[in-house]
């Protein structure tokens, strides 16, 4: 178990390091960092000034050293300033983290509440109308692009029916635990949560089918235990392990999903910061947000590995 | 999804009894609807220049946000977008973009992935270790985000997105081909080929590769939908196919701002994308159940 975890941890760290190298390499391809100092109209920096600046910025050192210096700064949370507003990127990300987390948590709860119960029902009542309905829900959820779901939801609930507001996370001066604020969350959370809910539904369904087919379930039924107890106590407890393990990966998938959802709903989170940076060519902001999201993504996958190792005693620890 | 577990009543061996041959049964057993939709898509993509009624980038200000023909008297069947371009023609040309990006990425990814998979599985040892580790690390990346960075630096263009898509496509082939090779290389006929003096290249090409074709086909068919979705998402975020060229992703992005006044500009390309991905998933599942039910967990 310990060897397995250490191994997984090493891989998580390597993955993160490769990602930083990738981003650093790309940022150097984006152009000479010295050009940032060439003010508009003031081109033609003197050779002395160039030399002085590159010594100050460490650009005269080998690329490896530059990378390590940059890495050290990123690790301590110093992401530099944005190009657009010249404020600290770290502060910006910090401000935007809360809305993104709200959205992710809401979607996660929604995905679990939709996926797991429907998966159980669908397996227990196999071939019934509710089975077909659940599977259709899963099928559409897995094929529908997030932005298509979002746009259809906006069209139906905001434009046609006018039930839910759209755009931003609601007024700032209202507490989060009110309906005024909460109704802004419904559509984005649903758009982000449907796909993962579909994945959880399929997993729960197939795990339940397998367990319900096993001998101890038949035995439990044969000795006279009620069907309800067999389903929820005997079968469900065993079938739930795999979907639970996957739930960490579900959270990881929100990283990419949030970028799209926040863009459509103008949700003021880190994802929106990132896509704004794409449109504004704001390189420091883009790389920092990408690094933060990558770290979350890798961390969540690592968490999934830990869960998997803990819950599954037959795993091979090599 | 349309195939059932082996205990299900729809999986029957032997002749199908006459009364079961209803339309519903045929539709469930054979992926007819998906295939029809996909055939339509391919026709649209290949023949876009002849099929599209109008030029996809031709602007016409009087027809700005023109309503679709079924709602109003309009010059365009599916209405016009915010600069008066024909939405139908753009959707048709968008099919071509999606298809071409997908086809190139899939072919290149398939070649690279299969090659590396054969190499890793057959060579074993340190080569296998290195390739498997690279694949592991690659799978741990949130690729969309790195693609965003790359797209900003190299500029959003057709070739950038092509390269990015190839980088997404190759991994899943490596893993599954490698797993196949590990089994096949232990088999008697490979040993016999070795004894009779066949070269490594010959063994790989003539004796091992044919055994992996089923897997490759299944992985390819399961990846197609994701690749198309990927391209659309990147284009939607402004990091894919650049603006005047129509792609379903950037059409949805442009139409998003006009959702209240002109819903068709984003809903129609979005629906085209949804139907395409859904058909591809259906078809991929069906093919997998036919060719290689072992791969079921991949779905």
Q: Are A73 and A89 in contact (CB under 8 A)?
A: no
Give the three-state DSSP class for A134. helix
Closest listed residue to residue B171, CA positions, set B147, B145, B142, B136:
B136
pLDDT of residue A152: 85
pLDDT of residue B110: 92
Q: Are B276 and B228 in contact (CB under 8 A)?
A: yes
Task: Say yes or no to pLDDT of B219 above 80.
Answer: yes
pLDDT of residue B70: 67
CB pairs under 8 A between A and B: 129
Select the residue of A135, A209, A252 nearest B1 (Cβ to Cβ): A135
Task: Say yes or no to pLDDT of B8 above 50.
Answer: no
pLDDT of residue A284: 75
* Per-chain mean pLDDT for chain B: 79
In chain A, whose CA is at the least distance from the CA of B261? A159
Separation of alpha carbons B85 and B243, rounded Å: 13
User: B13 burial class (0-12, 13-18, 19+ CB within 10 angstroms)?
Assistant: exposed
Q: Does the pTM exceed 0.90?
A: no
User: Which of B152, B168, B235, B255 best tests the A interface by mutation, with the highest count of A CBs <10 A?
Assistant: B152
What's the half-sphere exposure (Cβ side, CA atoms, 13 Å) at B120? Answer: 23
**Burial readout A11-22 (b: 16 or more C-beta within 10 A, e: otherwise):** bbeebbebbbeb
Residues 6+ apart with CB under 8 A from A8: A302, A305, A306, A309
Q: Are B258 and B132 in contact (CB under 8 A)?
A: no
Q: Are B160 and A304 in contact (CB under 8 A)?
A: no
Structure tokens of A279? Answer: 């449109």
In chain B, whose CA is at the least distance from the CA of A253? B142
Q: Does A297 touch chain B (CB under 8 A)?
A: yes
Chain A, window 8-37: residues with a beta carbon less than 8 angstroms from a chain B beta carbon: 11-12, 14-15, 18-19, 22-23, 26-27, 29-30
What's the half-sphere exposure (Cβ side, CA atoms, 13 Å) at B132? Answer: 14
Separation of alpha carbons A145 and B255, rounded Å: 16
Going by pLDDT thresholds of 50, 70 and 90, the confidence category of residue A173 is low
Structure tokens of B166? Answer: 């190839």
B274/A275 Cβ within 8 A: no
A209/B137 Cβ within 8 A: no
ipTM of the complex: 0.77
pLDDT of residue A45: 62
Q: Are A246 and A279 in contact (CB under 8 A)?
A: no
Structure tokens of B96? Answer: 């071509």
Structure tokens of B156? Answer: 């959003």
Q: Mean pLDDT: which of A237-251, B172-186, B238-252 is highest?
A: B172-186
Q: Does B259 touch chain A (CB under 8 A)?
A: yes
pLDDT in tens, B86-98: 778 888 888 888 8
Number of H helices, E strands in chain A: 13, 0
């Amino acid at each position: 178990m310990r060897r397995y975890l250490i191994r997984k941890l090493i891989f998580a760290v390597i993955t993160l390091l490769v990602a930083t190298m990738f981003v650093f390499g790309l940022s150097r391809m984006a152009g000479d960092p010295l050009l940032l100092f060439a003010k508009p109209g003031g081109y033609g920096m003197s050779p002395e000034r160039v030399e002085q600046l590159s010594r100050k910025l460490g650009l005269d050192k080998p690329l490896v050293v530059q990378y390590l210096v940059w890495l050290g700064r990123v690790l301590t949370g110093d992401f530099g300033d944005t190009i657009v507003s010249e404020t600290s990127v770290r502060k910006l990300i910090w401000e935007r983290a809360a809305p993104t987390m709200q959205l992710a948590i809401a979607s996660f709860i929604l995905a679990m509440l939709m996926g797991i119960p429907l998966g159980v029902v669908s397996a227990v009542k196999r071939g019934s109308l509710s089975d077909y309905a659940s599977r259709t829900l899963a099928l559409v959820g897995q094929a529908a692009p997030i932005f298509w779901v979002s746009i259809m939801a906006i069209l139906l609930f905001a434009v046609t029916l006018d039930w839910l507001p759209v755009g931003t996370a609601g007024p700032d001066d209202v507490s989060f635990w009110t309906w005024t604020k909460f109704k802004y969350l419904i559509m984005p959370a649903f758009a982000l949560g449907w796909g993962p809910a579909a994945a959880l539904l399929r997993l729960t369904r197939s795990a339940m089918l397998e367990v319900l087919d096993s001998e101890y379930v038949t035995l439990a039924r044969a000795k006279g235990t009620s069907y309800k107890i067999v389903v929820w106590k005997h079968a469900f407890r065993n079938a739930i392990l795999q979907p639970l393990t996957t739930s960490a990966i579900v959270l990881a998938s929100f990283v990419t999903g949030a970028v799209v959802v926040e863009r459509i709903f103008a949700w003021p989170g880190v994802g929106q910061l990132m896509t704004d940076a794409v449109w504004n060519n704001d390189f420091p902001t883009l790389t920092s947000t990408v690094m933060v999201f990558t770290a979350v993504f890798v961390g969540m996958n690592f968490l999934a590995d830990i869960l998997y190792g803990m819950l599954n005693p037959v795993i091979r620890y090599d | 999804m349309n195939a059932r577990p082996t205990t299900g009543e729809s999986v029957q061996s032997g002749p199908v009894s006459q009364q079961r041959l209803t339309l519903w049964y045929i539709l469930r057993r054979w992926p007819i609807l998906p295939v029809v939709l996909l055939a339509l898509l391919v026709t649209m993509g290949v023949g876009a220049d002849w099929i599209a009624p109008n030029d996809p980038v031709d602007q016409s200000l009087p027809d700005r946000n023109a309503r679709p023909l079924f709602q109003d008297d309009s010059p365009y069947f599916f209405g016009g977008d915010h600069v008066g371009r024909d939405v139908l023609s753009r959707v048709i040309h968008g099919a071509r973009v999606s298809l071409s990006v997908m086809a190139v990425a899939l072919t290149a990814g398939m070649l690279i992935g299969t090659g590396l998979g054969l190499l890793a599985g057959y060579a074993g040892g340190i080569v296998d270790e290195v390739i498997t580790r690279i694949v592991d690390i690659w799978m741990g990346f949130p690729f969309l985000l790195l693609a965003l960075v790359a797209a900003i630096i190299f500029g959003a263009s057709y070739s950038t997105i092509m390269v990015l898509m190839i980088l997404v496509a190759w991994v899943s082939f490596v893993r599954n081909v490698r797993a196949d090779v590990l089994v096949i290389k232990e088999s008697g006929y490979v040993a016999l080929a070795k004894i009779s003096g066949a070269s490594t290249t010959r063994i790989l090409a003539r004796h091992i590769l044919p055994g992996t074709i089923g897997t490759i086909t299944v992985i390819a068919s399961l990846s197609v939908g994701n690749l198309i979705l990927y391209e659309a998402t990147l284009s939607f975020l402004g990091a894919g196919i650049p603006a005047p060229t129509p792609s379903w992703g950037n059409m949805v992005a442009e139409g998003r701002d006009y959702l209240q006044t002109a819903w068709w500009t984003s809903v129609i390309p979005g629906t085209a994308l949804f139907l395409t991905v859904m058909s591809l998933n259906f078809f991929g599942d069906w093919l997998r159940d036919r060719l290689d039910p072992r791969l079921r967990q991949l779905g």
